Amino acid sequence: MRTAALLASLLTVALPACGDDDPDLGDTSSTGGGDPSAYAPALDHVIATIDAVHHHTLDGRSPALEAAVAAARDAIGDVDSDAEFELLVGRILVALADGHSTVGLQASAPVASIDLPMLWLEDGLVVAKATDVLVPGDAIVSIGGRSPDTILADLAAHVSRDHDGALRHAGPRRMPRQDWLEPMDMIEGGLDGATLSFDLPLEDGLVVDPAPERPVVGWTIEPEHDLGVFHLDACIYDANYQDALDAFMAEVRAQGVGKIAIDLRYNAGGDVTVAYALLAWLAPEVASFSVSARKSDALLEQAPIYSDPSFLGLLEAFGVDLDGSTFEVPGAALSTGLGALVPAVAPEDRFTGDIYVLVSPTTYSSAQLFVGEIVDNGLGLTVGDQTGANRNTTGDMLSFAVPDTDVEFTLAASWMTRPAPEDGQGPTLADIPIALTRADVAAGRDPVLDAVRAR
């Protein structure tokens, strides 16, 4: 591991020597430049959608949201690019305190990024993967003249989240992008005090992700540790997932494996059906989270389950009044409905050994619900870091395009309540806390999985 700290400069030309003239940075025009007159109606559209759709505005705006809206209206005249408008909307969404409410450029408008894969650890911001000039474990002490502490404060002002710990997930994915770097004035960085410094040019269409490069779902058996490891990096319920799960559990049973680890550390969510498919292998029935979904045209259009006659009939069978302003889905109804979508498991085939769930600040949305089902039903222990979502959290993430721009945003239409709400709010804290360190990254160690191996 290099002991020298890394200064990541975002200059697109060679670093200037002491006394040199300032370099020519070339074209540094803002991403998606637009007409300032277009952004006032665009802001009106965003605010009206928040008022009509988000679960937290069902009874009106909070004081924090009122203040954020007023500040955005005061600042809109200074916005002259999509990237600047994106940051402005982000400051409004922060007032919702909800990680499902996001803003970004549409996929049809690919964004250039610098090749800087990062992890935000307790001991600082470090390089996560090798690049042409960087090695895992390099410490990042400055980007564009900003220290990690300053960048974290910038992120907190512009990125909505369930809790501040989630910024450790969101930051490394947002910070390398041109639509963050340019409006934050980070393209030209300070070079003072650098032990090492590098040119990191923007690369068109580059997507920077610190997660390991591996299939979305997979598994291994480690006989020497009496351990089966099942990883899931996105909650996608399909035949590939079900086949992998069934094959894993069959091999665990065949080899008499005594403990399994469910690795959700790189899983930011998706379809929670994946949880019920796995839970079928662990218990005959489980207590489920409940859902309160705000009714809107957007919800019915983007989440058609809420207009499905069979689903509505199920709710009525559980005594739900369908005439209110929300769909109130009790946990028992959800467990019944989703449980019917996954294959049944014979009692004699269920796993009865020890269960560990590996978690991190990236564990979010449906992955957090997955964790909650295991924890609140007393089925296993969590290992690693705190999750990125709170245990009671938002859901039903709806997407919206902003007219006459390349900007899109998402809002949460529902509120999910954990099976055991009396056990408290906040993120899931690991039962066995293990902090990944810079030295671990440099050495390629996995101390979280090692802790399970040792048990």
Same domain, 170 and 266: no
- Token pair of 241 as six digits: 């997932």
**Residue 37 neighbours by CB under 8 Å, 6+ apart:** none
Q: What is the pLDDT of residue 18?
A: 28
What is the domain extent for residue 66? 1-16+27-204+397-413
Question: Tens place of pLDDT for every residue, the chain, 455 residues?
Answer: 443 344 443 332 222 222 333 323 233 334 444 555 679 999 999 999 999 999 999 999 999 999 999 999 999 999 999 999 999 999 999 999 999 999 998 877 778 888 899 999 988 899 999 988 888 998 888 888 888 999 999 999 999 999 999 998 889 998 998 888 888 887 653 333 334 556 677 788 788 888 889 999 999 999 999 999 999 999 999 999 999 999 999 999 999 999 999 999 999 999 999 999 999 999 998 989 999 999 999 999 999 999 999 999 999 999 999 999 999 999 999 889 888 899 999 999 999 999 999 999 999 989 999 999 999 999 999 999 999 988 888 999 999 999 999 999 999 999 999 888 777 778 888 999 999 999 999 999 999 999 999 99
Same domain, 269 and 155: no
Read off the CATH number of the domain in which 291 is found.
3.90.226.10
- Token pair of 118 as six digits: 């990062």
Same domain, 375 and 238: yes
Which of 265, 266, 255 is closest to 227 using CA atoms? 255
How far apart (Å, rounded) are the C-alpha atoms in residues 23 and 60?
51
In a domain, 437, yes or no: yes
Q: What is the pLDDT of residue 109?
A: 73
In a domain, 22, yes or no: no
Same domain, 241 and 164: no
Same domain, 325 and 392: yes
Which of 36, 23, 20 is closest to 81 using CA atoms? 36
In a domain, 211, yes or no: no
How far apart (Å, rounded) are the C-alpha atoms in residues 376 and 386?
16
Rounded-to-5 percentages of helix, strand, coil across the chain:
35, 20, 45
Q: How far is CA 324 from CA 50, 272, 295, 349, 369, in A?
A: 20, 25, 8, 43, 25
Same domain, 287 and 179: no
In a domain, 212, yes or no: no
How far apart (Å, rounded) are the C-alpha atoms in residues 423 and 413?
24
Same domain, 224 and 358: yes
Q: In a 10 Å sphere around its CB, with 0-12 CB exposed, 13-18 middle and 19+ buried, how is residue 328 labelled?
A: middle
- First-to-last alpha carbon distance for the chain, in angstroms, is 29
Q: What is the pLDDT of residue 199?
A: 62
In a domain, 210, yes or no: no
List helix spans (H) across 118-188.
Answer: 148-158, 167-174, 178-181
Same domain, 158 and 48: yes
- pTM across the whole model: 0.84
Same domain, 104 and 241: no
Q: How many domains does the chain have?
A: 2
Which of 310, 343, 345, 314 is closest to 331 using CA atoms? 314
Same domain, 52 and 145: yes
Same domain, 239 and 146: no
Same domain, 296 and 424: yes
In a domain, 330, yes or no: yes
